[in-house]
Amino acid sequence: MIFQSKKKIKVGIIGGAGYGGTELIKLLLFHPKVVLSFVTSRKHTGVKISQVHRFLRGTTELSFIEPNIETLPQETDLVFLATPHGTSMNLVPRLMERMPKARIIDLSGDFRLEDPELYRQYYGKEHSAPDLLEKFVYGLTELNRSAVSHARYVANPGCFATGIIFPLFPLLRADAVKESVSVVAVTGSSGSGELPKEATHHPVRAKNFKSYKILEHQHIPEIERFIRDSFFKQKESHSNTQGNAAVENRQHQRQGNGPGPRIGFVPQSGPFVRGIYTTVMVYNPEIDEEEIRAAFEMLYKKEKFVRIVDGSPEVTMVYGTNFVEVAWACRRGFVVSMSAIDNLVKGASGQAVQNMNVMFGFAEDEGIRFPGMLP
């Protein structure tokens, strides 16, 4: 049952010093349905938020508090976890005990996978709360809205996963994908977090371009899981509208109950700060261009945060916003589908607030519908 409230909800953030947590603070301070009651930071305990994040001076008098679960206010309605991978899985069981009525949105990768063995493989550590994995709903809002609306616990998607699933899903809907998908996505330096690293140091990155985690990025299994769990369910719900039973039968015969298409993903480091630009490409000489167009329009035409654009999406057009731009092209049997997002907003904190809005029955764009900056 969807929770609806006429009064403001009390919200807390665990991990407010990093880029994702900082973006959350900014969004929630100006959300008309939210009271930001606490923000934790072990490093900055006792220091005013506006002293650590000077651009927020004049907007809040809150200070960071110690991330001690046992002393956090029990009357909290929702907790955001903006913590590094490997931290949330240790905090969530304690949060559930301390705040049994609170809802949780985790921005890390700790609860995006259903298989603890896959978590160990891609994140390099054992999962400490494997029994809780199935309790979390995958929070790609536009494509999993119904599940999010009834969820108590949401795993916010990864930034690359968000940038990839938006352009990939219409290709699946149009039966353009046969066996494999090639993906290249270029990300800005903010995706590496607030702590300086050799590979993300600005003098190095500003004049460089490279790939990393080639074909082994940790967002691959969450994309594959979402496709497996969502594709046939959503396809079935739309098949009558499309009137495309033949396509539906081919998809079932080809993929059956298997894991879906193989995804070859190459992430790349771009010489900019914010944004992810994604290119998804498949080869299918039998593709019907009108089916591609229909799939994009059916999925996204009515979505408040998705813009279908001609030509190419642009990172500049979504900078600092919760919007995603998508586009596609077909030539000589190749199908290219593209997207642009801000990795810290649509790829993280903005999407988390969007999920919060859906979970609590608020307008989905409440507090997060604003344009970017140009130039």
User: How does the average pLDDT of the chain come out, rounded?
Assistant: 90
Q: What whole-number distance in Å separates Cα of residue 333 and Cα of residue 288?
A: 10
Q: Which amino acid is at 73?
A: P
For residue 344, give the nearest of 309, 374, 319, 375 by alpha carbon: 319
- Checking if the pLDDT of 260 tops 70, the result is yes
Tokens of 160: 């690359």
Q: Which amino acid is at 190?
A: S
Confidence of residue 191 (pLDDT cuts 50, 70, 90): low
Please indicate, yes or no, whether residues 323 and 190 belong to a single structural domain of this protein: yes
For residue 310, give the nearest of 325, 332, 295, 323 by alpha carbon: 325
Residue 142 forms part of a structural domain: no
Please indicate, yes or no, whether residues 126 and 181 belong to a single structural domain of this protein: no
Please indicate, yes or no, whether residues 123 and 187 belong to a single structural domain of this protein: no
Residue 2 forms part of a structural domain: no
Residue 350 forms part of a structural domain: no
Helical H segments across the chain, by residue range = 19-29, 49-52, 88-98, 116-123, 145-149, 159-173, 202-205, 220-242, 245-255, 289-300, 315-318, 350-359
The highest-confidence range among 187-196, 216-225, 240-249, by mean pLDDT, is 216-225
Q: What whole-number distance in Å separates Cα of residue 374 and Cα of residue 229?
A: 38
Please indicate, yes or no, whether residues 128 and 193 belong to a single structural domain of this protein: no
Residue 151 forms part of a structural domain: no
Helical H segments across 107-200, by residue range = 116-123, 145-149, 159-173
- Checking if the pLDDT of 241 tops 60, the result is no
| CATH code for position 236 | 3.30.360.10
Residue 242 forms part of a structural domain: yes
Please indicate, yes or no, whether residues 121 and 168 belong to a single structural domain of this protein: no
| Active site amino acids | 159
Residue-level pLDDT at 245: 40
Residue-level pLDDT at 193: 63
Q: How many domains is the chain partitioned into structurally? A: 2
Q: What whole-number distance in Å separates Cα of residue 39 and Cα of residue 35?
A: 12
| CATH code for position 19 | 3.40.50.720
Please indicate, yes or no, whether residues 124 and 215 belong to a single structural domain of this protein: no
Characterize 280-292 residue by residue with b for buried, 16 or more Cβ atoms within 10 angstroms of its Cβ, and e for exposed: bbbebeebeeebb
Q: Tokens 């929070």, residue? A: 139
CB 23 within 8 A of CB 348: yes
Please indicate, yes or no, whether residues 81 and 169 belong to a single structural domain of this protein: no
Please indicate, yes or no, whether residues 170 and 317 belong to a single structural domain of this protein: yes
Q: What whole-number distance in Å separates Cα of residue 173 and Cα of residue 335?
A: 13
Q: Tokens 């764009």, residue? A: 365
Please indicate, yes or no, whether residues 189 and 57 belong to a single structural domain of this protein: no
Q: What whole-number distance in Å separates Cα of residue 48 and Cα of residue 56?
A: 10
Structural domain for 208, as ranges: 160-342
Q: What whole-number distance in Å separates Cα of residue 354 and Cα of residue 345?
A: 10
Please indicate, yes or no, whether residues 119 and 188 belong to a single structural domain of this protein: no
- Checking if the pLDDT of 374 tops 90, the result is no
Residue 327 forms part of a structural domain: yes
Residue-level pLDDT at 206: 81
Please indicate, yes or no, whether residues 206 and 315 belong to a single structural domain of this protein: yes
- pLDDT digit string (tens) for 71-119? 999 999 999 999 999 999 999 999 999 999 999 999 999 999 999 999 9
Domain closes at, from 135, 169, 203:
135
Cα dist from 31 to 9, 11, 71, 141, whole Å? 10, 11, 25, 18
Residue 348 forms part of a structural domain: no
Please indicate, yes or no, whether residues 195 and 105 belong to a single structural domain of this protein: no
- Checking if the pLDDT of 244 tops 90, the result is no
Strand order in the sheet with 153-155: 34-40, 9-14, 78-81, 103-106, 153-155, 137-138
